[in-house]
Amino acid sequence: MSERYSQSSETFKKVEEIKKSDLSDNIKLVASKVLEDKPPSKAELVYLLGLKDSQERKSLFDLASCVRHDNVGDTIFVKGIIEFSNYCKRNCLYCGIRSSSKIERYRMTKDEILDIAIEMSNCGVDTIILQSGEDPFYTTEMIVDIIKSIRETTQRPVSLSIGERTVEELRIFKASGASKYLLKQETVNREIFEKVHGFDYDTRISLLKALVDLKYIAGGGNIIGLPDQTLSDIADDILFMREIGVRMAGIGPFIPTKGTPLEHYPIGSADLTLNAYACTRISIPLVQLPTTTALGTIDKNLQYKGFEAGCNVIMVNFTPDIYRKNYRIYDNKRKVEFYETINDLSKMNRRLTSLIEKAVLNQR
């Protein structure tokens, strides 16, 4: 047994319960490994990812919840996102803001971004996430200026989700006060990656590793349900994220989007996405794991179900409506609204940070 779980821990008790049950040897073996601080093997992950609604799947989710409880606690972290530009130089086959999409484009000014960051900070969000397409209009200096202003004004952690930049730029952004960076690998299957993105797989992977080396709280993540993707690919994604040391994982189902080359391709499975959450939590116990907007776009309650599968983060959207309607990375993208979300979470008796609790009280 590892140092991680004492005999009185929830994880220890859950593992004992699973071992005594009449569930499969597979899940019993996985449960024992959790106690030893070992990830499931690839074959075990494939098995778990494939679980259909059953007692066994419920036990996997319960195990993931115990692992979350013992490692990161049960507080749900509410992060706020500003989608500040929908210009993108990339042409990813699945994405609604790909360069060849004929959509109305917008860019927000530093002052607009800062005003929203202040609003988010007043709401008590845990982190201010700046997201955009890959938009070279925003120079290194401009991004630095935005990061510094937000940090000086709000003191909140700043997370970047602006696509690929040079390692030198990543270093400069970190030195300017950005502490987190999300750059999803989308899939570690090289063939699928290159087919849907049309750009270099090795660069993406090396930049994600550079973020870890630069001591960012680095985020990876993948899309569930890309063309030709198998359970084995998803198991590889989870093991890859563990191996390179990402500390956040954004995992969401593929959503077909009109006007893109994949518009007629089937939607990714919500059940598989939830299984991937549980598998990621037991494989990377300390990970910050959002239950994603893409899952909430299929059904709001499915997004909340993520909290039963080991997730501990939700991202709420602060992009002004005039812009948000054009930040259509996929169709019918759910607006995860701040007050609605915290009220729902309160009703579900989910624990929130004290800053958010204050916002709940203030609205009354």
Q: Is 49 a residue that touches ligand 5AD (CB under 6 A)? A: no
Q: Is 223 a residue that touches ligand 5AD (CB under 6 A)? A: yes
Interface segment toward ligand 5AD; rule CB under 6 A; list 79-87, 236-244, 252-260, 309-317: 252-260
Binding map of ligand 5AD across residues 89-118, x = CB under 6 A, - = no contact: -----xx-----------------------
CB 293 within 8 A of CB 336: yes
Among 294, 309, 314, 316, binds ligand 5AD (CB under 6 A): 294
Among 255, 272, 276, 336, binds ligand 5AD (CB under 6 A): 255
| Tokens encoding 323 | 């812009």
CB 209 within 8 A of CB 170: no
| Tokens encoding 139 | 């120079």
Distance between CA atoms of residues 337 and 16, nearest Å: 40
Q: Is 282 a residue that touches ligand 5AD (CB under 6 A)? A: no
Q: Is 252 a residue that touches ligand 5AD (CB under 6 A)? A: yes
- Give the residue among 205, 269, 196 at the shortest CA–CA distance from 234: 269
Scanning residues 159 to 198, which ones bind ligand 5AD (CB under 6 A)? 184, 186
Q: How far is the CB of 143 from ligand 5AD (least distance, A)?
A: 17
Beta strands per DSSP E along 53-199: 75-85, 128-132, 158-161, 178-182
Q: Is 11 a residue that touches ligand 5AD (CB under 6 A)? A: no
Q: Is 316 a residue that touches ligand 5AD (CB under 6 A)? A: no
Q: Kind of pairing, strands 223-224 and 248-249?
A: unpaired
Stretch (H or E) spanning 281? helix 270-283
Which residues does 337 contact at the CB level (< 8 Å), separation at least 6? 316, 317
Task: Choose between 249 and 255: whose C-beta lies nearer to ligand 5AD.
Answer: 255
| Tokens encoding 14 | 């859950």
Q: How does DSSP classify residue 216? A: -
Interface segment toward ligand 5AD; rule CB under 6 A; list 16-24, 118-126, 250-258, 351-359: 250-258
| Tokens encoding 20 | 């005594």
Q: Is 254 a residue that touches ligand 5AD (CB under 6 A)? A: yes
Strand partners, 217: 180
Q: Give the Cβ contact number of residue 215 at 10 Å.
A: 9
| Tokens encoding 47 | 């098995």
Among 12, 106, 330, 338, binds ligand 5AD (CB under 6 A): 330
Distance between CA atoms of residues 338 and 128, nearest Å: 13
| Tokens encoding 361 | 């009280």
Binding map of ligand 5AD across residues 335-354, x = CB under 6 A, - = no contact: --------------------
Q: How far is CA 242 from the centre of its chain?
A: 14
The residue whose Cβ lies closest to ligand 5AD is: 330
Interface segment toward ligand 5AD; rule CB under 6 A; list 36-44, 203-211, 212-220, 248-256: 248-256
Q: Is 48 a residue that touches ligand 5AD (CB under 6 A)? A: no
Q: How far is the CB of 94 from ligand 5AD (least distance, A)?
A: 4
Q: How many residues bind ligand 5AD (CB under 6 A)?
A: 12
Q: Is 61 a residue that touches ligand 5AD (CB under 6 A)? A: no
Interacting residue ranges for ligand 5AD, rule: CB under 6 A = 94-95, 184, 186, 223, 252, 254-255, 257, 294, 329-330
